[in-house]
Amino acid sequence: MDSMLLYIIDQFGTAIFAISGVLLAGRLKMDPFGVIVLGSVTAIGGGTIRDMALGATPVFWITDNNYLWVIFITCLLTMLIVRRPKRLAWWVLPVCDAIGLAAFVGIGVEKAMMYQDSSMVAVIMGVITGCGGGIIRDVLAREVPMVLRSEVYATACIIGGVCHTTALAMGFSNDVSFLIGVMSTLIIRLGAIRWHLSLPTFALNR
């Protein structure tokens, strides 16, 4: 895949994840500093954990400050725009989030394969990249992380990562494997949004 297109998608995902953090901060009535913190950890938390785990230092946003500017500008614009009475259709943010999630998983898998050769580790790094920021966001907000609920979210990341690494093992090029993984994650996540799919829950009888 063209590196510039991938970079643009990565920045798009960063902005969308930052928006989700800002919206949660707004529901919790945080001050502007809290809003920016929650937006930031949502957007770059997963990638930061991934880079630290892989030993890819300095982490990506230190070497490329554009990520920080995208987050800061997105947080400010979101705080201004969401105060207006006009609202987006309910599906816009979930769909954009799905696109960002799929891209983050693909980027996480691809970067993990650059530093080691285990497919299992690559899948885990893909899931961390896609879900890590959301987990930190929810923990800071004292909520049960979305990935630990019944909603099909982390599952889509796992399947996408498996498809990505399987395609690589079968001899497909990096670009084709990346697209296979991203499309797998995206299709499953969009299907879950469209048909409200969820996993069965585990509950102990009292």
Give the closest residue to 99 by CA, choosing from 188, 1, 206, 25.
188
Q: Is the pLDDT of residue 163 over 90?
A: yes
Give me 87's structure tokens. Answer: 């609202």
Tens of pLDDT, residues 131-146: 999 999 999 999 888 7
55 membership: H or E segment, kind and range: none
Torsion of CA 195, 199, 205, 206, to 10 degrees: -80
CA 95 to chain centre: 12
Per-residue pLDDT, 84 = 61
Whether 126 is covered by a domain: the verdict is yes
Per-residue DSSP letter, 169: H
Contact between 72 and 36 under an 8 Å Cβ cutoff? The reply is yes
Per-residue pLDDT, 82 = 81
Which residues, other chains included, contact 80 with Cβ-Cβ below 8 Å and sequence gap of 6+? Answer: none
Average pLDDT score over residue span 73-99: 83
Query: Total domain count for the chain?
Result: 1
Per the structure, the complete domain to which residue 74 belongs is given by: 3-195
Give me 141's structure tokens. Answer: 């907000």
Give me 60's structure tokens. Answer: 């990506």
Whether 205 is covered by a domain: the verdict is no
Give me 18's structure tokens. Answer: 């930052």
Which residues, other chains included, contact 149 with Cβ-Cβ below 8 Å and sequence gap of 6+? Answer: none
Read off the pTM.
0.93
Give me 27's structure tokens. Answer: 């529901």
Contact between 134 and 188 under an 8 Å Cβ cutoff? The reply is no
Give me 8's structure tokens. Answer: 């643009």
Whether 203 is covered by a domain: the verdict is no
Does residue 91 or residue 85 have the better pLDDT? 91
Beta bridge partners of 111: none
The residue whose two tokens read 């090029």 is 173
Beta bridge partners of 198: 151
DSSP state letters, 176-204: HHHHHHHHHHHHHHHHHHHHT-BPPPP--
Whether 129 is covered by a domain: the verdict is yes
Whether 130 is covered by a domain: the verdict is yes
Whether 24 is covered by a domain: the verdict is yes
Per-residue pLDDT, 147 = 83
> Is the peptide bond prior to 200 cis by the omega test (within 30 degrees of 0)?
no
Per-residue pLDDT, 19 = 92
Give me 190's structure tokens. Answer: 């969009």
Per-residue pLDDT, 198 = 87
